Amino acid sequence: MKKAQTALLEWYEIYGRHKLPWRLTDNLYHVYLSEIMLQQTQVNRVRDEYYPQFLAKFPSLKILANAHQDEVLAAWSGLGYYSRARNLHKTAQLTQEGLPHTTTELMALPGIGNYTASAVCSFGLGQNIPVVDTNIARVIKRHFALLDPKVKTIWTQAEIFVNAQEPRSHNLALMDLGSLICLPKNPKCEICPLQSSCLGKSEAEIYTKTKKTVYESMELFFGICIKDNKVALLTSTQKMYQGMLVLPSTEPIEEDFIASFKHSYTKYRLVVNLYKSQVIDQDVKWIDINEFRSAPISSLTKKALKFL
């Protein structure tokens, strides 16, 4: 175990992603924000765009807490999974003076589960605890040859494996190893620092078989109504885009057809049809075309509005 821990840290020292901005700080809010953003979002998009822009607008929990939810959703626009932004805002309102320092207290806050709480405590506070995301789980299952283990079993094994001397670097190293080397398909076992101690290397892929995702197809019909350089939008009450501005639904009339495009959202594969519309709904908000960037507009709606 000690040899594996040492080999892992030596590899991380050379090949780890040390320059990611949230790894260069011990600011708990910054670490927490990065973990929320990195859920379901590519590292490069978070690092290069959303993380710095969001912190520039909301540099502290207190400033975030005092912001209007529309401002928060606007800053989150394009990242998707908008419940993350709403929970982030709620948590800021509950912890304006600072986030708690235990996983139990963190998990009592909106939108924070076992992984996020552990990541904040490990990466932000250096606590001697395991962290298990999708990448780390894959490494643990293969290295210890765990076939179809329960989630609790993976966490228990990860806890046994934690390097008590350098827990933060150990967890980050496992994360990077899963992201760069121990890939879901065609893992690069020949250059893995854990190759000599890996119990599942000869049949790596049987330990991480995943069920094929079944996607649900859906067709949507939206109306675009423009007056005086403004577009009619509604505040969504549906779970998918709750609180975001979306185009109103409309009846499909062939002569009013504008365009059609495809859009993916979680398990849904959408076909979106756009039509010219004469909106009479009293609840619409008229948003100036020049204000789209600062409005809480969903990524689907942004894609639709490009047809303007």
CB 181 within 8 A of CB 188: yes
User: Which residues are 224's β-sheet partners?
Assistant: 276
Please answer whether residues 46 and 54 qualify as being in contact, where contact means their C-beta atoms are separated by less than 8 angstroms. no
C-alpha angle 150/107/132, rounded to 5°?
Answer: 40
What is the rounded distance in angstroms from the CA atom of residue 233 to the CA atom of residue 224? 9
Distance CA 196, CA 224 (A): 61
Backbone angles phi and psi of 168, in degrees to 5: -60, -50
Burial of 308 by CB count in 10 Å (0-12 exposed, 13-18 middle, 19+ buried)?
exposed
Q: If you search the block for the tokens 């079944």, which residue do you land on?
A: 214
Catalytic residue numbers, as ranges: 35
C-alpha to C-alpha distances, 167 to 115, 123, 124, 129, 148, nearest whole angstrom: 15, 9, 11, 7, 26
